[in-house]
Structure 1
Amino acid sequence: MKVKKFMNKPITTPPNVLVKDAAEILTSKKIGSLIVTKNDEMLGIITETDLTRRVISKGLDPNKTLLKDVMTKEVIYLDPEETMEEAMHVMNENVIKKLPIVEDGKLVGIITTTDIIKITEKQLRENLDDLKRLNREKDDFIAIASHELKTPIATIKGFLQLLKNKDFIEDQEERENSLEILDKEINRLNNLITNILDFSRIDLNVMKMSFDKVDLYQTMTEIKKLTVPLIKDSGLKANYIFDKNLPEIMADEERLKQVLVNLISNSVKYTQEGKITVKVKKEDDYVHFTVKDTGIGIPEKEQEKIFERFYRVEGAQTKKISGAGIGLAICKELLTFMGGEIWLKSEVGEGSEFHFNIPINGPKNK
């Protein structure tokens, strides 16, 4: 943490001020020293002790003597780019309680031991609050994730029991319906586990991206085949807008698919009627993706938090909708790794549009 951020405006005086006037400033401001400057350039420092000892020992008249005649020449100061730890070390070494901050020979501020102690205490309190918040989020996530994992497992287990029944097996239509449900629940379980594992990799700083040329038209064709059944099974219309002229991009194809599936699944989850539109187009050096729904929408006050981990929009319409609150956060993390950005436009009762872009040539620092 640099000193520059926390320095205070110093109390200064020019060198041609009378000793008497300087003493009055020290007394009125209840401080022990004054910084002497000329045209913002620091010349020295004068203390209450200097004024008393030097003036008396030299038999000088405080009503006639100027500060420049008794000013301390040796000044200890810091550069504003120094850290708080360095400032405290210098203060302790020199048994002083404040340090002038000088940049390019100019006095720009002052830092005191009181400042550092207050800042340190504040930072410790903030760190403690963050740890408490993270601990609550962890507990909430474990509870939600446990529920989310149990639901598809229970469904899979139930249908597997049915498939053991001889009469049930002979009913081809029922058997096919059951296998479709099993397939969906397994995919749901797989997506959740993938997201949870990705969070662990990101936190441990071991997330690996595999960048290669991606044929966007082919990728979007696969995404369409994968997600159209999900959309239509929910009673919604699917609208995909992309063409064969889409450029190849440098990206991690599997992670790109993961982002799109997460966004489309999220839109389906919060849309009761209408349609889901997925659009892809080239814009300058980027490819712009849009996933638009006609769902319940997101209140404006909630929109800034929607990409935070474990955050879920509160409301009567969302309470019955399952989710661990990690899908959108994962999208943001993965897109950051690919050099992209994600944002949304939403209006309650009208639906939401999730937008993201990816640089055609990949991130600058792969």
Structure 2
Amino acid sequence: MSGTADDVASLEQALQASRDELASLRAELEETNRGVVALYAELDAQAEQLREATELKSRFLAYMSHEFRTPINAIRSIARLLIDRVDGPLTEEQERQVGFIQSSATEFAEMVDDLLDLAKVEAGRVEISPAWFEMVDLFSALRGMFKPVLTNPEVHLVFEEPGDVPRLFSDDRKLSQILRNYISNALKFTPRGEVRVGASRDGELVTFSVSDTGVGIAPEFLGTLFEDFTQVKSPLQKRLHGTGLGLALSRRLAHLLGGTVGVRSEPGRGSTFWVTIPIRLGGAQGDA
């Protein structure tokens, strides 16, 4: 009887120990659950704060961009009147200074446009309006757009024939904006040689490329080129200012078109910037 009583007592002690351990584990689990709930609540609060901060930044950028437009347009108009000699002739030095004012105002206007567009993208206020269009028409419009600014006789802007690229169903204005940024940068950083614009098809994707024979970009800068406010440090960059927003905006616009962007470059040999988008945005069906 004694042995049986001892066995029962041992079992009861073991059972109680298991109960105590289970209660301890349950308490730890409840404490962990409370911590997880608190963490989720904190993350939700931080996400809301981040959303509000992003919204405020976008509203601020949009407001300031709009406010800047009026004085910029006034400066450009006055500079144009002076360049056209509406109020009389200019000396050579005066013409040089007015030209500097005009180019600076134009550069400032481009910065404001980039800021406004970036603010719209971040706020989700950019609408994509896809439609069928021909590559020839897009290249023709870009050629005409850049013809007035090709003032350097040592640089040639070449548009290759699209070849086997079919009609595309996408937003040609957004695509044109991306290519304009690429071409503008290429012309800016190519003292001599050529800037070549082309397109090639790979299955259901089309890649547009802008290649130049300019100064090129060091490898350490390639990974951050498409980030906000990123600029390449080079002797030429010191003379050509900008916000560094053009490429960041191009990347975001490409994503809206279901595409990607990229760059290849070698210092002293030039650069190639590209954007790849689907032939049919969103898998659109219909007669191409």
| TM-score between the two structures when normalised by the length of structure 2 | 0.70
Letter paired with 1:305: T
Residue 70 (structure 1) aligns with: 18
Assess, with a 3 A threshold, how the Cα gap between structure 1 residues 60 and 204 changes in structure 2: closer, same or farther.
same
Name the residue aligned to 1:254: 173
- Answer yes or no: is 1:161 the counterpart of 2:77: no
Query: 1:207, CA displacement in angstroms?
Result: 1.0
Q: Which position in structure 2 is the counterpart of 1:340?
A: 259
Q: 3-state SS of the aligned residue for 2:140?
A: helix
**2:210 counterpart (291, 307, 312):** 291
Which of 183, 191, 208 is the equivalent residue of 1:272? 191
* 3-state SS of paired residue (1:344): strand
Distance 1:227 1:284, change over 3 A: same
Q: Which stretch of structure 1 is more off in the superposition, 150-159 or 275-284?
A: 150-159
- Taking the aligned partners of 2:238 and 2:68, their CA distance within structure 1 comes to 14
Letter in 1 for 2:78: K
How many percent of aligned residue pairs carry the same amino acid?
A: 20
Shift of the alpha carbon at 1:126? 11
Residues 1:98 and 2:48 aligned together: no
Question: Given that residues 162 and 198 in structure 2 are in contact (C-alpha distance below 8 angstroms), is that contact kept between their aligned partners in structure 1?
Answer: no
Q: Which aligned pairs between 1:147-296 and structure 2 lie closer than 5 A?
A: 157-162=78-83, 163-167=85-89, 188=107, 191-233=110-152, 235-243=154-162, 245-296=164-215
- Segments of 5+ residues of structure 2 without an aligned counterpart are 1-7
Contact 1:152 1:189 in 2 (8 A): no
Partners of 1:296 and 1:150 in 2: how far apart? 34
Residue 350 in structure 1 maps to residue 269 in structure 2: yes
Shift of 1:128: 9.5
Secondary structure of the residue aligned to 2:142 is helix
Relative to structure 1, the CA distance from residue 349 to residue 231 in structure 2 (aligned partners, 3 Å threshold; closer, same or farther) is same
User: Quick one: which of 38, 59, 75 aligns to 2:9?
Assistant: 59
Aligned-pair distance for 1:230? 3.1
User: C-alpha offsets along residues 104-135 of structure 1, whole Å, 9 cap, x if unaligned?
Assistant: xxxxxxx5766787898899999999999xx9
SS of 2:121's partner is helix
SS at the partner of 2:263? strand
SS in 1 for 2:120: helix
Selected match of 2:238 from 291, 301, 319: 319
Which structure has more strand as a fraction of its residues?
A: 1
1:297 aligns to what SS in structure 2? coil
CA contact (8 A) 1:250 1:360 kept: yes
Greater relative contact order (CA < 8 Å, ≥ 6 in sequence): 2
How far, CA to CA, are the matches of 1:122 and 1:234 in structure 2?
57
Instruction: State the alpha-carbon separation in 2 of the partners of residues 164 and 229 from structure 1.
Output: 22
Q: CA deviation at 1:186?
A: 7.5
Gaps spanning 5+ residues in structure 1: where?
1-57, 78-93, 101-110, 169-174
Alignment: residue pair count: 268
Question: Tell me, what secondary structure is at the counterpart of 1:281?
Answer: strand
Aligned-partner residue type, residue 355 of structure 1: W
C-alpha separation between the residues in 2 aligned to 1:130 and 1:351? 40
SS of aligned partner of 2:247: helix
**Structure 1 residues 191 and 318: CA distance shift in structure 2, 3 A:** closer
CA RMSD of aligned residues (A): 4.8
Normalized against structure 1, the TM-score is what? 0.57
SS across alignment from 2:244: coil
